[in-house]
Chains A and B, each alone.
Chain A
Amino acid sequence: DQQVKQNSPSLSVQEGRISILNCDYTNSMFDYFLWYKKYPAEGPTFLISISSIKDKNEDGRFTVFLNKSAKHLSLHIVPSQPGDSAVYFCAASALEYGNKLVFGAGTILRVKS
């Protein structure tokens, strides 16, 4: 029973173009969402987050969009750089569930130079 789904296992993008990574969730209790980035042989590192009271959060080249009615969020990277090549995990949290995070399976992003 996957509550957080990343349906695209991989994505390939040309350097300088936009990367769009998608995430869907099923549990309407989720009220906080995060994106983590993971390089090989390293642990996931926090990238950007969004609260359910917002529909957009921007940090430099990274923007996360939240569509609560569709239970969908996306991460936009503009412009994409080769150093962005990594695995991106979507995660969700619900205040009622305490400090637990539920992770998606991840999407491998490859940025070609």
Chain B
Amino acid sequence: DAGVIQSPRHEVTEMGQEVTLRCKPISGHDYLFWYRQTMMRGLELLIYFNNNVPIDDSGMPEDRFSAKMPNASFSTLKIQPSEPRDSAVYFCASSPPRTGLHYEQYFGPGTRLTVT
């Protein structure tokens, strides 16, 4: 049973370039989350989707960031243009609906982005 799949695992790019991060959630999960982890801010939620629809994008830092979920098995996080301060580890996570009895999100391995 495959977990959350992210690609690429590592990305090194130059300032000003477009970066696209990809995520395949666990089959049957209808929630998908994008997080960013930095030393300064820890693990912060950027955006999340329910049934492919963006629900809350209040964590997206600025217009350079965009996320899409064209179908239930694929999502992208795009940064255009990229800047050195975007360097971080980006995690994708998925979950079934919270029932109130039990709830957890399942994380992918992350994409380490370095912008030079």
Binding site for B on A (CB under 8 A): 32, 34, 36, 41-46, 49, 51, 89, 93, 95, 98-106
Complex Cα–Cα for A42 and B95 (A): 18
Chain B residues whose C-beta falls within 8 Å of the C-beta of A106 in the assembled complex: 42-43
B115 contacts the other chain (CB 8 A): no
Q: Contacts A99-B31, A99-B50 given: A41-B104 contact, CB under 8 Å?
A: no
With contacts A98-B98, A100-B56 known, is A45 near B42, CB below 8 A? no
Chain B residues proximal to chain A, CB less than 8 Å: 4, 31, 42-45, 48, 50, 55-56, 91, 93, 95, 97-98, 100-110
Q: Which residue of A lies closest to B3 (CB)?
A: A43
A89→B101 CA distance, assembly (Å): 21
Contact status A93-B43, CB under 8 Å: no
Cα A38 to Cα B52 with chains together (Å): 27
On whether the beta carbons of A44 and B104 are closer than 8 Å, the reply is no
A42 to B112, alpha carbons, bound, how many Å? 11
B95 to chain A: which residues have CB within 8 Å? 99
A103 to chain B, nearest CB (A): 4
| A95, B104: Cβ atoms closer than 8 Å | no
Q: B55, A43: Cβ atoms under 8 Å?
A: no
Given contacts A43-B91, A43-B110, A99-B97, contact A105 B105 (CB under 8 A): no
Q: Of the candidates A41, A46, A89, A100, which one forms a contact with B43 in the assembled complex, judged by CB atoms under 8 Å apart?
A: A89
Q: Are A45 and B107 in contact (CB under 8 A)?
A: yes
Contact of B100 among A89, A95, A103, A105 (CB under 8 A): A95
CB proximity of A59 to chain B, nearest CB, Å: 13
Contact A100 B48 (CB under 8 A): yes
Q: Give CA–CA (A100, B105) in the complex, Å.
A: 9
**Which residues on the A side are within 8 Å of B48 (C-beta)?**
99-100
Inter-chain CA distance A105–B97, complex, in Å, is: 25
Which of A34, A41, A43, A104 is the one whose CB lies under 8 Å from B108? A43
Q: Return the 6 tightest CB-CB contacts between A and B, nearest first.
A: A43-B107, A105-B42, A103-B43, A46-B104, A44-B107, A99-B31
